[in-house]
Amino acid sequence: MNDKIKILVIDDDDTGRDVLSMLLRSVGYEVTSAANGESALALIDRVQYHVIVSDLILPDSSGLDILRNVRKVAPATEVIVVTGHASAQTAVRAMKEGAFDYITKPIDFDELKIVVSNALEKQNILSENRYLRRQLQGRFEFNNIIGVSPAMNLVFERMNRIVKTDSAVLVSGESGTGKELVAKALHYNGTRREQPFIAVNCSAIPETLLESELFGHVRGAFTGAIKDKPGKFEAANHGTIFLDEIGTLPLHLQGKLLRVLQEHEVERVGSNKTIKLQVRVISATNSDLENMVKRGEFREDLYYRLNVIPLHLPPLRERQQDIIHLVAFFLEKQCRLMGRAPRSISKQALEALEQYAWPGNVRELENLIERMIALTDAAVITIDDVPAKIIGERPVGEALTVTLAKAGVDLVATISRVERELISQALLSSGGVKARAAALLGINRTTLVEKIKRLKMEE
Ligand SMILES: Nc1ncnc2c1ncn2[C@@H]1O[C@H](COP(=O)(O)OP(=O)(O)OP(=O)(O)O)[C@@H](O)[C@H]1O
Ligand SMILES: [Mg+2]
């Protein structure tokens, strides 16, 4: 526990101060001492003490002054006052002004030990609470969704509007783009934040169980239904239900879901009693629901019910600017989680990450960072730590097929022609995705965009 707990002892009496310091040091605390108010205040300004033990009467000021000052500049520090004259009144004053406790002279060392350790315990609890609270708040605030790209700014703008409404939201995006993260952020920043957020992954539950999972069942409704069980919709009442992978919902359940959404009520499987509900629905899909509707695989009426507000999360390869911020965020987060010292990443390694196409999107990036931290102890992650798959294979030493004509050549124009040809091939094979095309060409996206502009290749 003693990761050097710092204690400041303030007493004008040399012997008293030395004895106190020695005793506290013998418990393992790091003790500093001051003989008057002025030097004490100078120390308090510079050092964050856990506990201050101060005599109430000092030559140049009083323990109360110190106390007031500490409350202002170091509110986390606990102050224990020592009173020589058993003066109950000043002790009470001190307590009122925010002292943790007081002890009377002559000091009983066992008492002091207990009071100090109580003060430390209180601090621990307080800072733990603060940490937990910050975690709970921080976890779902938009500021834990990293993104500075224009594409993500649009997402944030729309989210800001969504949190003020109660409409159904359909979050779409490729795997790992942050659909669940965004759904939670919408719930925990919205008016229902105090109410439950219930997630159901429609693709992870066997079809036969999904109906009862969503809507509940009564005893005897089917083999194995040994008692009444409320469904996720009931559990989410007044809050939000998050229907993940909604595209995998079988057609017969789509009909039932539509009724629940229209009537705002459910019937548990095997019962005809209706239960009124008030639930916000956020659903998510990584398949193209609109196409599924066209192909008759998803009910059109349900699609419109769910898709009152569409929220599309762009794939990571379309927001290359976010990568540096995500990398920094995950480096910090993973080092903290794994209890490792903070890391940084070399420019070269970062560029490799920026040029990769990230088919698994943010999740793939987060997993890679975690792996790289786990596999190396070095303070800086370098290109050598980046897997070959991500750096990609670069054609090296390809034979040049051009020859210099007798009449000479327009070098600049020829190079432009070669550039134009290779860029259009790269764009073609990457489906027009610039980040991927840039990776194929071994340049970064910005350079590619500049070249496209300079070569007048747009459209
Ligand atoms: N913009 C972002 N900022 C910070 N972390 C993110 C961001 N986007 C995604 N993540 C993180 O990436 C991981 C994957 O996100 P999430 O589970 O929300 O994706 P998903 O779209 O639901 O993926 P899937 O379709 O595979 O279920 C999570 O750990 C999430 O916290
Ligand atoms: Mg998900």
175 lines ligand 1 (CB under 6 A): yes
Query: Strands 274-276 and 265-267: what pairing?
Result: antiparallel
| pLDDT in the model for residue 2 | 39
CATH code: domain of residue 218? 3.40.50.300
Q: Which pLDDT value is given to residue 399?
A: 46
Whether residue 145 has its Cβ less than 6 Å from ligand 1: yes
For residue 322, the ligand 1 atom closest to its alpha carbon is 1
- Pocket lining: 177 vs ligand 1, CB cutoff 6 Å: yes
Count of domains observed in the chain:
4
Question: In angstroms, what is the span from residue 173 Cα to ligand 2's centroid?
Answer: 10
pLDDT over 60 at 396, yes or no:
no
Given this model, what pLDDT does residue 304 score? 96
Q: How confident is the model at residue 28 (pLDDT cuts 50, 70, 90)?
A: confident
CA 46/CA 31 separation, integer angstroms: 15
The ligand 1 atom at the shortest distance from the C-alpha of residue 286 is 25
Task: Please report which helix (H) or strand (E) contains residue 292, including its range.
Answer: helix 289-294
Give residue 133's Cα distance to chain centre: 14
Shared-domain flag, residues 283 and 329: no
For residue 405, is it within any domain? no
Q: Kindly identify the ligand whose nearest atom is closest to the C-alpha of 244.
A: 2
Is 151 found in the same domain as 292?
A: yes
Q: Is the minimum distance from the CB of 315 to ligand 1 under 6 angstroms?
A: no
pLDDT tier, 244 (very low <50, low <70, confident <90, very high otherwise) = very high
Within-domain flag for 401: no
455 CA to centre of ligand 2 in angstroms: 41
Q: Does a structural domain hold residue 383?
A: yes
Q: What CATH code is carried by the domain that includes residue 334?
A: 1.10.8.60
- Looking at 314, 348, 370, the residue that finishes a domain is 314
**Per-residue model confidence (pLDDT) at position 138:** 44
Look at residues 363, 391, 419 and tell me which one is the last residue of a structural domain: 391
Digit-coded pLDDT (tens) for 123-135: 776 666 555 555 5
Reported as a single tens digit per residue, the pLDDT across 413-449 is 888 888 888 898 888 888 888 888 888 888 888 899 9
Looking at the fold, whether 206 and 97 belong to one and the same domain comes out as no
Give me the phi and psi of 79, to 5 degrees please. -115, 130
Give the whole-angstrom CA distance, residue 372 versus residue 386: 7
Q: Is 375 a member of any domain?
A: yes
Choose among 66, 5, 59, 68: nearest CA to 36.
Answer: 59
- Residue 139 confidence (pLDDT): 42
Q: Are residues 277 and 419 in the same domain?
A: no
Residue 246 has a pLDDT of 97
| pLDDT given at position 397 | 42
Q: Are 319 and 305 in contact (CB under 8 A)?
A: no
Domain shared by 181 and 310, yes or no = yes
- Spatial distance between the Cα atoms of 247 and 174, rounded to a whole number of angstroms: 13
Q: Is the pLDDT of residue 1 over 50?
A: no
Number of Cα atoms under 13 Å in the Cβ half of residue 178? 23
Inside any domain, residue 165: yes
Evaluate whether residue 211 is within a structural domain.
yes
Checking if the pLDDT of 165 tops 60, the result is yes
- Residue 404 is assigned to a structural domain of this protein: no
Average confidence (pLDDT) over 49-75: 86
The predicted model gives 52-77 an average pLDDT of 85
The pLDDT mean for the chain works out to: 87
Kindly state whether residues 218 and 302 are assigned to the same domain: yes
Tell me whether residue 157 is in a domain.
yes
Report whether 449 contacts 321 (CB < 8 A).
Answer: no
Higher pLDDT, 214 or 72: 214
Q: Is 178 in the pocket of ligand 1 (CB under 6 A)?
A: yes
146/252 same-domain check: yes
| Residue percentage of the chain with pLDDT more than 70 | 92
Question: For atom 8 of ligand 1, which residue has the closest CA?
Answer: 178
The finding on whether 147 has its CB within 6 A of some atom of ligand 1 is yes
pLDDT at 51 over 70: yes
Is the beta carbon of 97 within 6 A of some atom in ligand 1? no
The answer to whether residues 186 and 247 belong to one domain is yes
Determine the distance separating the centroid of ligand 2 and the alpha carbon of 199, expressed in angstroms: 10
Residue 394 has pLDDT above 50, yes or no: no
pLDDT band at 315 (very low <50, low <70, confident <90, very high): very high
Q: Does the beta carbon of 181 sit less than 6 angstroms from any atom of ligand 1?
A: yes
- Looking at the structure, do residues 247 and 194 belong to the same domain, yes or no? yes
Same domain (yes/no): 287, 327: no
Does ligand 1 come within 6 angstroms of the Cβ of 173?
A: yes
CATH of residue 106's domain is 3.40.50.2300
Query: What pLDDT is recorded for position 259?
Result: 95
Best residue among 358, 362, 364 to mutate for probing ligand 1's pocket (most ligand atoms within 8 Å of CB) is 362
Section 159-177 average pLDDT: 94
Domain harbouring 421, CATH code: 1.10.10.60
User: Residue 354: which domain range?
Assistant: 320-391
364 and 430 belong to one structural domain: no
Ligand 1: atom nearest CA of 183 is 18
Residues 324-350 have a mean pLDDT of 90
Domain stops at, among 266, 290, 314: 314
Residue 238 has pLDDT above 80, yes or no: yes
Q: Which residue has the tokens 């393992």?
A: 28
For the segment 191-195, the average pLDDT, to the nearest whole number, is: 88
Is residue 400 predicted with pLDDT exceeding 70? no
pLDDT at 409: 77
Q: Are 326 and 446 contained in the same domain?
A: no
